[in-house]
């Protein structure tokens, strides 16, 4: 397992440098936490990633991969060990029309703070709609 952690740390450092960032814990902490929606990582926690002491979980790994523009499986494992598979579209996106897929693609290209804002607006609209529906049902 130690080899996998060391490989991850090396790939993380290389991906950060390739993306134009210094492979330093302070840089990693700032950039990761500005993109991750969960509990923020500490300086000590990201330092352990860079030293190969720990490996992040899937959600954190996905955030790193998206930020650094590398496939998550290449960041986490040795590509030679990963079986080659063709990416399948997400099952929920198959039933969407062109306009909806285009909207989701645009949303996914937004920086995380703007995605949060868009999400908050959509949730507010959905709550207002649910309240209207409940009021209509109560009047019937």
Same domain, residue pair 15 and 70: yes
Q: Is residue 86 part of a domain?
A: no
pLDDT at residue 38, rounded to an integer: 83
CA distances from 123 to 70, 100, 130 (A): 30, 17, 10
CA distances from 90 to 10, 93, 134 (A): 30, 5, 32
pLDDT at residue 82, rounded to an integer: 46
If one counts the domains in the chain, the total is 2
Q: Which of 59, 50, 61, 62 is nearest to 23 (CA)?
A: 50
| Domain assignment of residue 17, given as a range | 2-81
Q: Which string of DSSP letters, residue by residue, matches 52-102?
A: TS----HHHHHHHHHHHTS-HHHHHS-GGGSPP-PPPPPHHHHTS-HHHHH
Going from the first residue of the chain to its last (140 residues), give the mean pLDDT of each consecutive group of 10, the final group possibly shorter.
84 93 94 88 95 90 91 72 51 68 80 87 94 91
Same domain, residue pair 13 and 43: yes
The domain that holds 65 is classified in CATH as: 1.10.260.40
Q: Is residue 52 part of a domain?
A: yes
d(CA 72, CA 62): 6
CA distances from 128 to 104, 121, 125, 131, 133 (A): 22, 11, 5, 5, 9
pLDDT at residue 8, rounded to an integer: 92
Same domain, residue pair 104 and 68: no
Same domain, residue pair 77 and 104: no
């Amino acid at each position: 397992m130690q080899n996998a952690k060391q490989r991850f740390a090396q790939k993380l450092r290389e991906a950060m440098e390739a993306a134009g960032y210094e492979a330093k814990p302070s840089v990693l902490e700032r950039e990761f936490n500005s993109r991750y929606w969960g509990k923020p990582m500490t300086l000590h926690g990201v330092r352990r990633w860079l030293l190969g002491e720990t490996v992040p979980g899937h959600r954190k790994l996905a955030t790193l991969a998206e930020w650094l523009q590398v496939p998550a499986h290449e960041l986490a494992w040795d590509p030679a060990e990963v079986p080659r598979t063709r990416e399948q579209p997400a099952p929920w996106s198959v039933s969407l029309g062109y306009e909806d897929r285009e909207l989701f693609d645009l949303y996914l290209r937004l920086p995380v703070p703007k995605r949060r804002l868009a999400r908050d607006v959509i949730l507010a609209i959905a709550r207002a709609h649910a309240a209207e529906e409940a009021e209509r049902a109560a009047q019937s």
